[in-house]
């Protein structure tokens, strides 16, 4: 049994980008944890029809996040309670230290976060940079672990332009876990309500969700043609 820690900026990041992989890890008996930096209280979507106000959105999105975690099998949820859309102006060392504390407590064998350049949103990139810094400090003191960034299919075309090698690319099969991913999508109702396809027949909705999810290996040694990010025999001594 391995321990997988994910570190993201907002509620729904864990579901919309890599929910299938997290559900697969949990279904295979691994311990899955999530550090969520903000409650997404500055998000533009309030539900369709609106079910939240600016004042109530954060609390509602926390409830949605907890429901999504249940659907995916995430056992350990940790909230940093930072302000949404401010992560890029938090002092980087301070943000990294917040993540490092959670990492040291959880003791992961693998960590998933955003790429610090290819994250697609300032909060995503900031939490990705902080997590990479925290990871390096963690492994320097506590031994081996693996670090990955979530990615979109098209990202593979830009690896070398961003200083990475093709062997850092990884594709994970999540076909058996689409049902859990769909349930988590639906749990994030304020954010997913605009997607009409999501609320019809489950079989039709599931057809819209990808059968694979993509990751970038951020620290060597890279596992060429990798299809899974957890070690088969995690060796960390937690006694």
- Residue-wise pLDDT for 87-114, tens only, equals 999 999 999 999 999 999 999 999 999 9
Asked whether residue 213 is domain-assigned, the answer is yes
Q: Which residue has the higher pLDDT, 206 or 15?
A: 15
pLDDT confidence bin for 235, thresholds 50/70/90: low
pLDDT of residue 239: 36
Asked whether residue 103 is domain-assigned, the answer is yes
Domain enclosing residue 61, as ranges? 3-217
- Indicate the pTM of the whole model: 0.94
Reported for 23-26, long-range contacts at CB under 8 A and 24+ positions apart, including other chains, are: 23/71, 23/72, 23/73, 23/174, 23/177, 23/180, 23/181, 23/184, 24/172, 24/174, 24/176, 24/177, 25/73, 25/230, 26/72, 26/73, 26/74, 26/75
Asked whether residue 222 is domain-assigned, the answer is no
Asked whether residue 227 is domain-assigned, the answer is no
pLDDT confidence bin for 225, thresholds 50/70/90: confident
Asked whether residue 12 is domain-assigned, the answer is yes
Asked whether residue 41 is domain-assigned, the answer is yes
Check the CA dihedral 105-106-110-113 and report its sign: negative
Asked whether residue 230 is domain-assigned, the answer is no
For 53, other C-beta atoms within 10 Å of its C-beta total: 9
How many domains is the chain partitioned into structurally?
1
- CATH classification of the domain holding 195: 3.40.50.10320
Asked whether residue 238 is domain-assigned, the answer is no
Give backbone dihedrals phi and psi of 115, rounded to 5 degrees, phi first. -70, 140
């Amino acid at each position: 049994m391995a321990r997988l820690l994910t570190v993201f900026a907002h509620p729904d990041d864990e579901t919309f980008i890599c929910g299938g992989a997290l559900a697969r890890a949990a279904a295979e008996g691994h311990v899955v944890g999530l550090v969520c930096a903000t409650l997404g209280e500055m998000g533009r979507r309030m539900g369709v029809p609106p079910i939240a106000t600016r004042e109530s959105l954060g609390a509602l999105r926390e409830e949605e996040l907890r429901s999504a975690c249940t659907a995916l099998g995430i056992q350990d949820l940790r909230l940093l309670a930072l302000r949404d859309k401010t992560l890029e102006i938090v002092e980087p060392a301070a943000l990294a230290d917040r993540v490092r504390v959670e990492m040291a407590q959880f003791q992961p064998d693998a960590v998933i976060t955003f790429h610090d350049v290819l994250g697609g949103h300032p909060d995503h990139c900031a939490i990705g940079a902080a997590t990479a810094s925290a990871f390096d400090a963690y492994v320097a003191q506590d031994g081996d672990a693996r670090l990955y960034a979530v990615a979109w299919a098209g990202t593979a075309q830009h690896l070398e332009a961003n200083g990475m090698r093709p062997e850092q690319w990884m594709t994970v099969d999540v076909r058996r876990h689409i049902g859990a991913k769909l349930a988590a999508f639906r749990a994030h109702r304020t954010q997913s309500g605009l997607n009409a396809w999501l609320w019809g027949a489950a079989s039709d909705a599931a057809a819209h969700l990808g059968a694979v999810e993509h990751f970038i290996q951020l620290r060597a040694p890279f596992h060429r043609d990798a299809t899974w990010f957890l070690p088969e025999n995690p060796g960390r001594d937690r006694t």
